[in-house]
Amino acid sequence: MNPLLAVTLAGRLRDRARQHPLAWGCLALLALAGPFLGLAVLAGVVVVVIAGSGGSAATVAPRQVPGIPDTMLVAYIQAAQHLPEIRPRCRGMRWSILAGVAQVESRHAAGHTIAPNGDIHPPILGPALDGSGAGGNRTPIRNRDGTYARAAGPFQFLTTTWDTVGQDGNRDGHRNVHNAFDAALGAAAYLCGTGPRDLNDEPQLRVALYSYNHSQAYVTTVLAHIRSYDAIPLRHRGRPIQATGVAKTVIDAAMSQLGVPYAWGGGTRHGPSTGIRDGGVADRHGDYAKIGFDCSGLTLYAYAQAGIDLPRTSRAQFHAGTRVPKEAGIGALRPGDLVFYSPGSIHHVGIYLGNGDMINAPYSGTTVRIDPVDLSEYAGAARLLH
């Protein structure tokens, strides 16, 4: 694009944005992409995963799960959010996988007190691994000081393993195997290994679980718990979001980012990233200094967690999948469909949840949130999930 034309068009778009804030969300990215976006891509965009707060993180799962203390549940969800920071080549990690492992390892720290920061009292210690058969152990395992090893924490790590994969999940400067947030993130890192792995793929998930405990019976038991947790429906406005399978994976991923700031040009397949300058509305909101998503960055990320690659912009995403025409109305939509806005050209995209609502990153100054589908600007949908 000719730079002078881009500047002229940007001025017109800024004028439009004052009347249609949503239009600025993604259309501006297209207008300025020619002269500037290529340089930004070449320079690279630093990806930083947002530390989910207890409130926003908990929305990716039911508010409560029977048998799981609230702090443990948030620890599982937050670990899945943080994971791309330490294992960028791993996809498909979700709270239910960690919950399935923790259910078998410690019954979610049952019988212990869990502080708000995740510290667990008294410490959870397994039997001494002296080869006597306790816990299935027939080979003595010793610590460096000669004492018999004991698995520790809600995820039952040996000291030598924790030394390798231990994490600071609650960002307090310590890696504590007896802290729910640290242990959950350490377990997520261990399950992902060091190479590429897709935990949405059951054979790869089985390999990951087997690496955690070399027992096919263990794998079968943990998988049963994971499936049970996966089947718990998300709820919005007191009603369940009717999504299963891949659609649920996409929606779970998007819901995990509720409350993350809007950042123009932000978002990759790995998570939120730093925004870029636009010379106008987004700059006035400081998007270039924020870490977050724009509308198409959020959809790109959510679909990537299900192994589906989308184009970067809303206009390009409009041509993906199977068209659901505007004339069919929102009654024809299914959870997981991409919904588009277009007073003129396509400028905004969200993910349909059901009951007339979508999750989206609206525009500068807002956060990822749930909004009703605006029928005045609704331009139809794209269906990538069948």
57 located within any domain: no
Strand segments, DSSP code E, in the chain are 90-91, 113-114, 120-121, 197-198, 235-236, 239-240, 273-274, 291-292, 322-324, 338-341, 348-354, 357-360, 369-372, 378-383
58 located within any domain: no
How many domains does the chain divide into?
A: 2
Q: Are residues 275 and 344 located together in one domain of the fold?
A: yes
Q: Are residues 280 and 347 located together in one domain of the fold?
A: yes
Of the three residues 188, 213, 232, the one that is the final residue of a domain is 232
Sign of the dihedral defined by the CA atoms of residues 219, 223, 225, 226, in that order: positive
Amino acid symbol at 237: R
Residue 301: CATH number of its domain = 3.90.1720.10
Structure tokens at 310: 């989308």
Amino acid symbol at 120: I
Q: Are residues 206 and 70 located together in one domain of the fold?
A: yes
Q: Are residues 108 and 198 located together in one domain of the fold?
A: yes
Q: Are residues 291 and 308 located together in one domain of the fold?
A: yes
Q: Which domain holds residue 316?
A: 3-49+240-383
Residue 134: CATH number of its domain = 1.10.530
| Residues paired with 19 in a beta bridge | none
55 located within any domain: no
Q: DSSP labels for 27-64?
A: HHHHHHIIIIIHHHHHH---B------HHHHGGGS-S-
Of the three residues 172, 198, 232, the one that is the final residue of a domain is 232
> Which is nearest to 71 in space by CA: 116, 121, 110?
116
C-beta of residue 351 within 8 angstroms of C-beta of residue 338: yes
What is the distance between the alpha carbons of residues 119 and 165, in angstroms, rounded to a whole number? 18
Q: Are residues 153 and 131 located together in one domain of the fold?
A: yes
Q: Are residues 93 and 225 located together in one domain of the fold?
A: yes
pLDDT tens-digit profile, the chain (386 residues): 333 333 334 433 433 443 344 554 565 454 444 444 333 332 332 222 333 333 333 335 667 899 999 999 999 999 998 898 899 889 889 899 999 999 999 999 999 999 999 999 999 999 888 877 666 666 788 887 878 888 999 999 998 899 999 999 999 999 999 999 999 999 999 999 998 998 988 999 999 999 999 999 999 999 999 999 988 877 766 677 778 888 988 998 898 888 889 999 999 998 899 999 999 999 999 999 999 999 999 999 999 989 999 999 999 999 999 999 999 999 999 999 999 999 889 999 999 999 899 999 999 999 999 999 999 999 999 999 87
C-beta of residue 272 within 8 angstroms of C-beta of residue 49: yes
Of the three residues 213, 232, 251, the one that is the final residue of a domain is 232
